[in-house]
Structure 1
Amino acid sequence: MSVSAGTKLPLTAAQREIWIAEQRLGEVNRVFRVGEFLEIHGPVDPALFEQALLSAVAEADALHVNFVEEHGEVRQVVRRLGDWSPALVDLSAEPDPEQAARRWLDAAVARPMDLAQDRLFAYALLRLDADRFYWYQGYHHAVMDAFGSLLITRRVADVYTALAEGRPVPPSPFGSLPELLAAEQEYRDSERFTEDRAYWTERFADRPEPTGIVDRPSAVPDHYLRHTAGLDPDELTELRETARQARVPWSYLVLAATAVHLHRMTGASTVVLGLPVTARLSQVQRRTPGTAANVLPLRLRLRPDMTLRELLGQVGQRVRELGGHQRYRAEDLQRDLDLPGHTGTWYAPVVNIMSFDYAVAFAGLPTTAHNLSSGLVGDLTLAVWDRRDGTGLTLDLNAHPEVCADHELAAHHERLLAVLRALTAVDPALPIGRIDLLTEEERAAVLAVPADVPPRTEATLTGLFEAQVGRTPDATAVTCGELSLTYRELNERANRLAHRLVARGMGPEHVVALALPRSADLVVAILATLKAGAAYLPLDPAHPPARLAHMVADARPGLLLTTTTAGSDLPTAQGTSVLFLDALDASDAPDPTTGLTHAPAPALAPDHPAYVIYTSGSTGRPKGVLTTHRNVVRLFDATRTWFDFGPDDVWTLFHSYAFDFSVWELWGALLHGGRLVVVPYEVSRTPGAFLDLLADQRVTVLSQTPSAFYQLAQADADAHADTSRPARRLGLRTVVFGGEALQPARLTDWYERHPDDAPLLVNMYGITETTVHV
């Protein structure tokens, strides 16, 4: 120890933030423990090991302190450690020494440390047999981070080796705690500190929202969840080779994989990851055990048409910039930007890449390192360990227990590994939006049609709908305001209009553009287009004119079906005729003997197009996607075992018919004999009014994006809080989510308000299914 006992020293910035975080808890907490164990392969001499460890601890100033608060100021006080020695735990006589060791280690790392009273480190040597030992190291994060712990590990190994070989012990390489404090103060008083502050505050002046895939936790936990997996040595070699070909460090692929995962899961174009750094730029900092680590935001912009090579280039540029400004504390930035305080960092998930040379040996005995705890977890933290010891790459995904359950954490972990493996295998010139991210299990689930559900391979939507008309002709099919149509009436109206379309030359392989307001006529027009054999192109009149013009020019519809009001400002392509539904004349009327009961009879096949829908244009330009009758029929065949839709169900046509979720809503009702409630546009944009509609119409099946449902849930909470209004029960039995990642924790309050009529919640984000139990 280079500092006299009783000396009072200030805290480093990192120590101060940990101390503040622990004080917020109001009690000593295990989440600030960091711990690992080193597996030593061979016969360790316990006496020499103890001698080496005592020597290293005596040299490390950071291990001799406690924290005291006097007159509103926190200081670290150097103490005499007194008599202590590492515990020697002999487990060799246990029936299962490995299992006994794991139990001992779990209990050890769970024991909290009092910053004011306790020794802030703990060591033990566990003997499993004569040739296998575990060296346990545990610290309070306020005195040691992963880099500092490695310095001590190497020093103990060096001293042990010198003693075992009868050589003089080399001088201590450690810097002193006063030197570490002086280096930090010199930085905070320098122009570099001012420059770093300017860099960070300018780069994040817009305070981008975190791109999380789980909810923000509300409190610091007393434990966290962990799921561990990794890449074997061959896969790590492949990862390194892919990185070499792309001329980047392999760690950039891990960061890119995490960013792509978030981008594809949430649709966000801006992704902000938390990136831990050592924050040790000087020689004194790099040779002094202690805690200095920092977690800074890595901001990336992604587009589906961006190639992996472009993304890796951006990652490299941003990491280099971040590294040049890494000593500026994340907590200072949070205060600079006046960001709301919460558990963990403002940005998430955190991706902690630790590529340290752990190939240490004790007098020739090789070792393998295992992490037990890395300190506080905000929501999700991915810890990636490259020990450089030939064991491959270990990936620990840690989670706050409030934001996900064990099985959800395992699913997140599996997906992250799948993305990393996908990026390792693809051509760097491939756009990230085209990278296949499905796991093998997901692909099998998506492609499989349940064995007990015979696929309707030769069915068309119109054929299935007409069969439903035959089964329930007098059941209500569509409701829109005061208007209701039975299945027979809807079929007759669609047949009449289909004959008009055929008379205009429409049929299979033709496209009919629909530009209609939300109404029963919209449902009639969609059915009529398909009965004529054509595919419909939805043109939402509320969409920007430039988007509509591009779609019309690209798809080149043969006919535009609209109203005189909606079609007044719509673009048309050359060769496209216009039919106004509200201005039809007698010349367009079908043969009255066939127009009501029979549709035209085009040679319609399952592989004929049913509709053409355009993407959002996030890649710069909307792209048309053609979907066949077979595709839509198969969607309901493949998901039939997940649901039990039937004629008693009431659905809403909530979404724009230019959004593909509307296809699920429309045919979910009409192919199962249910009732479709057309939601007026104004109601769809007013959560309170929509909530009233759900109650009034006794809707049983609701399809929503998570963000829309969160607004509905808030309107529901407001309605329950308004004691002047009578309580209203909903009839929902199924809510189907899609389009965005679902955060189940945000639905807890909904279930608490609806304990007797809580629906089954199903997340069909992308093409995967997860039943959510809140």
Structure 2
Amino acid sequence: MEQPPPQQTDYNKPQSKRERPAPLNTEPFRRPGTTPSDDEAFNRLLPIASAQRGMWMGEKIGPSDAVYKLAEYVDIGGDVDVPTFLKASQLLTKEAESTRVQIVETAEGARQLVNEQYPGEFPFLDFSAEDDAEAHALRWMNDEVSRPVDLEREALWLGVLIKLSEQRYFWYQRCHHITLDGFGGGLLARRLADIYNGLLAGGDIGESPFLPLVQQLEEEKAYRESSRIERDRDYWKSQLAGLPDAISLSQRSAPRSGGLRRSALVLSLERSAQLRDIAQQAGGSVPQLLISMLAAYTYRMSGQQDLVFGMPVTARVNRRLRSIPSMMANAVAIRLAMGDEQSLVELLGQTAKVVRSALRHQQYRYEELRRDLGLLGSGQQISWMGVNIEPFDYDFGFGGHHCSIHNLSNGTVEDMTVFVFDRGEKQGLHIVIDANPALYSQLELDEHRDRLGRLVEAMIQAPNSPIGDFDLLSADERRSQLQAWNDTESPLPAAFWPGLFEQSVAHFADRPVLSDASAVMSYRELADQVNPLCQLLRERGIGPGKVVAVALPRENCLPTALLAILKSGAAYLPLDPGTPAERVAMILEDARPDLILSSKDCQQGLPDTGVPCLLWESLTLSDYPARALPDVAIAGDMPAYIIYTSGSTGRPKGVVVPHLGLQNFLLAMQQSLSLTPDDSLLALTTVSFDIAVLELFLPMLAGARVHIASRDIARDPAALAAVIAEQGITTLQATPSHWQALLEEHGDVLQGIRPLVGGEALPTELAHRMRRLGQPLVNLYGPTETTI
């Protein structure tokens, strides 16, 4: 959160010996291949500051279309003395070294070359003859912002006077972010106005208010050699202990790109004044109130109670640093505890405390903090969301004319950053949402803008109401969510899953359906085992209203047993033989099954509950005919299976899934995935997880094949890759961590496979790697190209 520049400063007052850091060595510079000139000795070569290194690295390794330019224009409502204005611009560049900086590469790395003379021009453009001069000027400025700039050979700061009419001019100011930040740009704009007005009044422009760039480097050196840096580091590491995963409001997972995308709104003078009144009455500042509002919006859109976002700061902690127009900006992490019951006023109290504390430690570099927290990997960040309040009072005029300031570019952002420009009480607050074009479409960004506007309006009207009570939706959004999205009526077949399986047997009788490490079964062969087992179960009283627990190895017998139980009309209760005995005992005690179907090895891990147990090895299915008995009447609300939650939020809970739900799920998945008889899906997931239903049953609905991987193979990436290759697997569902392990060493084997992922949050970089397999990525728990 940047602060406005000081109005009066004694820049000639000597510093005390204690305050003055040790001087830095500088050296003259001449470009290779040039001859000495009279001015050469004045061209100084300085190290780049810490704040500049990130911009330098971005230029070297960032997206080719990334924009690192900051740009704005001043709308001057009156006539301008053009020669005097251009002279003022020239004098400004003599005072401000950052306007004359270029970045050069040396044997010691990147350095900033401070030229004696400004290395560019002072353009004056006359668009007054155009039909729409303002539109023409805006197009020219936006095109100029998007044009790449050569750090070593071009002027990195540019000031252009543009004539729209005799009584209206634009002054366009653009810089590369490596040389100047927003605060520094404000210093230059104010000083240019002072110089121009002084020249108009007779020529007295006063002393330069600016200190040289070497002063910034000396201040930085002093900070890094002081005990303050350790205190700041300790503060931030403590403040961000147990940091939650960084959130994004994007609905897609894609590699971040360059470019610019923006949506903006302007609060009226009346609404802006009301905001100032609320802040004053609540004992906070306007920037703190705005931060609270934007935090409330991010919370409402994400539900993140432990909310962390980045906030740019000037990092100018003393008068000397505030006298240097340069690139010095940093960012601090703002961490807030959010909840529906908080009001805006209550949130303001928390925000004010957190922001004040953060500003006391704003010199510690954000990029160094990421390193301290081990977040330097691709796709890792303290926060993707940002809030930047720029309370620069630009209440100045050129020649006494009214001026208004308009931001054009803050450069490419990684995800989304909300900027609020507070140009004083004579202008309404400007809210700008900048976003990464790869993550947000213009429509999505405009929707965020509109929802934010509705929330701000509601909070202004009721600052003491709970933030969870405010409605963010438009009428169209409400209609879509409550009506269109719920209009899911679709015709369903009369048969439930057991009947649908029989239809697949009739259509694909001789095609392979099931395989494990030792055998391959056709649809007919599978049915010839399911039917006898179903008859055996019926003889033992298993049918509708009964529950059969299943603890079998990951072999062909497992889906055979599940199908037979479902065909009998009973519900199955899946047990993972590798689950701790305490959990199995709890499940059996809670579910109270009527029968346990297990094997000799798996039975050893089961508790003695007194429930009858059938062992697979003891079954004599050949005693029963392979033909099917008359179907049991199955209703949609009859239980198909019972699945238990993980218990991560308390005692595990049993969820009863009815036949209608199982039928609807499988048909919806097939509609989305369109499996064919040529597909082969690898079953990895333990049967006690719900997604195992997709792996085991969905291929059977489409005439495809499912291969069951043993527990040992599922845990070994190399063995798993070998099975994928040997079995010709076309579709694989796994958790992100499982995919990560496979892709690390065996990405070539996975090429062309259809990737399904679920169970955990999907990191952006991993999603990008999975897309390179050549098939649409299907995220079963979040938005991607195909979402289920």
User: Which TM-score tier does this pair reach, normalised by the shorter chain?
Assistant: 0.7 to 0.9
2:419 matched to 1:385?
A: yes
Aligned to 2:34: none
Equivalent of 1:226, from 254, 257, 260? 260
CA distance in 2, matches of 1:545, 1:421: 54
Change over 3 Å in CA distance of 1:133–1:459 after alignment to 2? farther
User: SS where residue 683 of structure 1 aligns?
Assistant: helix
Equivalent of 1:482, from 518, 524, 529? 518
CA distance in 2, matches of 1:682, 1:315: 51
Aligned to 1:684: 714
CA distance in 1, matches of 2:513, 2:778: 26
Aligned to 2:384: 349
CA distance in 1, matches of 2:275, 2:628: 64
2:412 matched to 1:396?
A: no
| Pairs within 5 Å for 1:452-601 | 455-456=491-492, 458-501=494-537, 507-508=543-544, 511-571=547-607, 577-582=611-616, 592=624, 596-598=627-629, 601=632
Aligned to 2:18: none
- Alignment deviations for residues 24-74 of structure 1 (CA, whole Å, 9 cap, x no partner): 679xx9968422122627445353755665565555443345567889598
Give the Å deviation of 1:469. 2.5
8 Å CA contact retained: 2:531, 2:629:
yes
Aligned to 1:251: 291
8 Å CA contact retained: 2:551, 2:598:
yes
Change over 3 Å in CA distance of 1:259–1:489 after alignment to 2? farther
2:314 matched to 1:278?
A: yes
2:705 matched to 1:675?
A: yes
| Pairs within 5 Å for 1:619-630 | 619=649, 622-630=652-660
Residue ranges of structure 1 left out of the alignment (5+ in a row): 218-222, 400-405, 431-437, 720-728, 753-757
Give the Å deviation of 1:559. 4.2
CA distance in 2, matches of 1:163, 1:633: 82
CA distance in 2, matches of 1:391, 1:684: 57
Aligned to 2:126: 90
| Pairs within 5 Å for 1:137-176 | 137-156=173-192, 174-176=209-211
Give the Å deviation of 1:83. 10
8 Å CA contact retained: 1:276, 1:293:
yes
8 Å CA contact retained: 1:498, 1:600:
no
Give the Å deviation of 1:144. 0.9
Give the Å deviation of 1:340. 6.3
User: SS where residue 736 of structure 1 aligns?
Assistant: strand
CA distance in 1, matches of 2:139, 2:224: 44
Give the Å deviation of 1:127. 3.9
2:225 matched to 1:189?
A: yes
8 Å CA contact retained: 1:262, 1:271:
no
8 Å CA contact retained: 1:34, 1:372:
yes
CA distance in 2, matches of 1:139, 1:703: 49
Question: 2:404 is aligned with what amino acid?
Answer: T
Change over 3 Å in CA distance of 1:568–1:72 after alignment to 2? closer
User: SS where residue 406 of structure 2 aligns?
Assistant: strand
Change over 3 Å in CA distance of 1:227–1:536 after alignment to 2? farther
8 Å CA contact retained: 1:173, 1:287:
no
Give the Å deviation of 1:462. 1.8
- Alignment deviations for residues 579-630 of structure 1 (CA, whole Å, 9 cap, x no partner): 23336578xx99957x85126514x222333333344444455454443333
Question: 1:683 is aligned with what amino acid?
Answer: I
Give the Å deviation of 1:669. 0.9
Aligned to 1:662: 692
- Alignment deviations for residues 294-344 of structure 1 (CA, whole Å, 9 cap, x no partner): 245678999xxx8796998999887666444321224555677898688x9
- Alignment deviations for residues 337-371 of structure 1 (CA, whole Å, 9 cap, x no partner): 898688x9965636352343466464564535233
Aligned to 1:648: 678
CA distance in 2, matches of 1:250, 1:547: 49
User: SS where residue 760 of structure 1 aligns?
Assistant: coil
CA distance in 1, matches of 2:785, 2:543: 39
- Alignment deviations for residues 200-249 of structure 1 (CA, whole Å, 9 cap, x no partner): 567789999988986888xxxxx822322356759x9999999999x984
CA distance in 2, matches of 1:188, 1:632: 63
Give the Å deviation of 1:396. 1.2
Aligned to 2:30: none
Give the Å deviation of 1:740. 4.8
CA distance in 2, matches of 1:607, 1:534: 12
8 Å CA contact retained: 1:459, 1:630:
no
CA distance in 2, matches of 1:418, 1:715: 46
CA distance in 2, matches of 1:337, 1:549: 41
Give the Å deviation of 1:80. 3.9
Residue ranges of structure 2 left out of the alignment (5+ in a row): 1-9, 13-38, 459-464, 470-476
Change over 3 Å in CA distance of 1:58–1:456 after alignment to 2? same
Which structure would you say has the larger Rg?
2
- Alignment deviations for residues 164-188 of structure 1 (CA, whole Å, 9 cap, x no partner): 9x79999779452365455444433
User: SS where residue 635 of structure 1 aligns?
Assistant: helix
Aligned to 2:19: none
Give the Å deviation of 1:478. 1.5
CA distance in 1, matches of 2:145, 2:125: 15
CA distance in 1, matches of 2:66, 2:152: 17
Change over 3 Å in CA distance of 1:771–1:93 after alignment to 2? farther
Aligned to 2:17: none
| Pairs within 5 Å for 1:330-341 | 330-333=366-369
CA distance in 1, matches of 2:222, 2:585: 61
Aligned to 1:723: none
Change over 3 Å in CA distance of 1:747–1:31 after alignment to 2? closer
Instruction: Report the more deviating stretch, 685-694 or 497-506.
Output: 497-506
Aligned to 1:766: 781
8 Å CA contact retained: 1:109, 1:373:
no
User: SS where residue 290 of structure 1 aligns?
Assistant: coil
TM-score, length-normalised on structure 2?
A: 0.72
Give the Å deviation of 1:685. 1.9
CA distance in 2, matches of 1:765, 1:169: 70
Aligned to 1:633: 663
Identity rate, percent: 29
Give the Å deviation of 1:195. 1.8
Aligned to 1:612: 642
| Pairs within 5 Å for 1:394-433 | 394-398=432-436, 406=438
